[in-house]
Amino acid sequence: MPNPSRLRAAALTATAAALSVLLAGCGGGSQEDDEDLSGQKLHWKDCPAPSEAEGGGAAPSPLPDGDEWQCATMKAPLDWDDPGGDTIGLALIRAEASGAADRRIGSLVFNFGGPGGSGVTTLPAFGQDYAKLRTRYDLVSFDPRGVGRSDPVECLDDKQLDTYFQQDATPDDRAERTEFVDNTEEFNAACEKSSKKILPHVRTTDAARDMDLMRQVLGDEKLHYFGISYGTELGGVYAHLFPKHVGRAVFDAVVDPTQTAEQGSLGQAKGFQLALDNFAEDCVSKVEDCPVGDTAEDVEARIARLLKDLDRKPIPGVFPRELTETAATGGIAQALYSKDFWEYLTEGLEQAYDGDGRVLMVLSDALNGRNEDGEYSNITAANVAINCADDKPRYDPAYVEDKLPEFRDASPLFGDYLAWSMLSCTDWPVAGAADHPDVHAPGAAPILVIGNTGDPATPYEGAGRMVDALGKGVGVELTYKGQGHGAYDSKNRCVQDAVHGYLLDGNVPAAETVCS
């Protein structure tokens, strides 16, 4: 899984594309050398094909109305404590507003999460979902520093990553624990060797400052923003640093800003277990027989037996790799990010029981940023680098072992993995910034905060805590009673009407609105 300390969203379109095969963006904009970076001019051009660090593939297809996606590069200080020093280039993408010029509000900046996800590749993949918002906004996204085409963090090469993701991430004895710790240390050392210059400068506070520079360069008085998953944490930190610059903002799939890394991992264990419970109940409730169990309890018991069997003896996956316990756990988790993928999970489990691990491995590959050509994006490297730069706590093996019973109580299936994942930052070369992010933003404009009761990766309770942490009069909570990671892309009419009403017309929905 891409985040050894927290499971967060990976691009779902890559999964769908890879499964469809199995089962049948942006740099290059040069800029003027301007000493005042807020006055730089962006040179928008047709977008190139995504780099390997962005996930590879073809250049984005034209929009439905025939307009082309445009890309540019924005210069930003490498070190915001030394704004006159070295600079880095941040890759941007946009689709210009489709409506009348006199109705245009400005730019709507997206961050889709991770941390470590490429906004330059994700925005065009989901662009049609935001067509209504495009009527009054330029849709804009970016690769945050350390991600994709924006001075990417690099660690292991593709072959090394194949081996890394085959390891046993839930050690059962001293030898397995030693191997797991050694692999983590080797990964972190490779990051330091390849990316030493950028590692101290990928904190969320750095990305938030980049967004305020972006706001100025795009010519907007306020930052209008749509943050998803980790993007809600980034948006909250931005609001804390620049409350007077917050425009119309939406947070969807909300990270709990009050939790430490340990608390976040434990919360995710509970969230993914809830999603698994919901998947099992849904499967057995259908009119036709559930092919992976007779009852919800039977579904989960069979999955547990599968994972134990894979721990002893992996099965063939995507040749020449085998499906291990760790890869299967990652594949199951990836499918739980969206109810649309539950059918793939059912098919993957059914095939795995017959000794064929291909579907679960394709799901796991998507979570880890691996494409069908065997190339990895840098989502894993960036994800670890950003989280370890942000999170102050460091844990050791003895501490994890003490916590295993609590994590197993939270989730018999995901508990061990998420507990051991807390070691990812133990020997990281950069100190973590804080126990948790500061998102207190007195005086900011209203921020619509959407929590999904069935969200596995950012459990529902985090939305209410984000509202409280933002401060009185800032956060406005909306509850979606649904499944999957996030609410807007569920296409629920109630949720989308609330989002459109605020972002397009400035109408703040009533606090504690509930959509189902």
Tokens at 298, concatenated? 């039977």
Which residues lie closer than 8 Å to 167 by C-beta, 6 or more apart?
A: 179, 180, 183, 326
Q: Are 253 and 457 in contact (CB under 8 A)?
A: yes
Q: What secondary structure letter does DSSP report for 366?
A: H
User: Hey, which residues are catalytic here?
Assistant: 229, 455, 485
Residue 50 DSSP symbol: P
Name the one residue in this structure whose structure tokens are 């109810």: 339
Q: Tokens 């915001």 identify what position?
A: 80
Q: How many residues comprise the chain?
A: 516
Give CA–CA dist 389/382, Å, rounded: 10
Q: Strands 475-483, 223-228: parallel, antiparallel or unpaired by DSSP? A: unpaired
Which of 320, 347, 292, 280 is closest to 20 using CA atoms? 347
CB atoms within 10 A of CB 282: 16
Tokens 């948006």 correspond to 235
Joined tokens for residue 515: 């959509």
How far is the C-alpha of 397 from the C-alpha of 328, rounded, in Å? Answer: 23
Q: Which among 96, 146, 99, 79 is positioned nearest to 119, based on CA atoms?
A: 146
Q: Measure the CA–CA gap between 421 and 391, rounded to whole angstroms.
A: 14
Q: Are strands 223-228 and 246-252 parallel, antiparallel or unpaired?
A: parallel
End-to-end Cα separation, the chain, in angstroms: 30
| Torsions phi, psi for 252 (to 5 deg) | -130, 135
Q: In terms of Cα–Cα distance, which of 496, 503, 227, 485 is closest to 513?
A: 496
Q: Which of 485, 491, 415 is nearest to 231 (CA)?
A: 485
DSSP string, 205-271: HHHHHHHHHHHHHHT-SSEEEEEETHHHHHHHHHHHH-GGGEEEEEEES---TT--HHHHHHHHHHH
Q: Give the separation between CA 498 and CA 226, rounded to whole angstroms.
A: 13
Residue ranges of alpha helices (H) inside 313-460 are: 325-335, 342-353, 358-368, 379-390, 397-410, 415-420
Phi, psi of 85 (to 5 degrees): -90, -145
Whether residue 125 contacts residue 377, with contact meaning beta carbons closer than 8 Å, is answered with: no
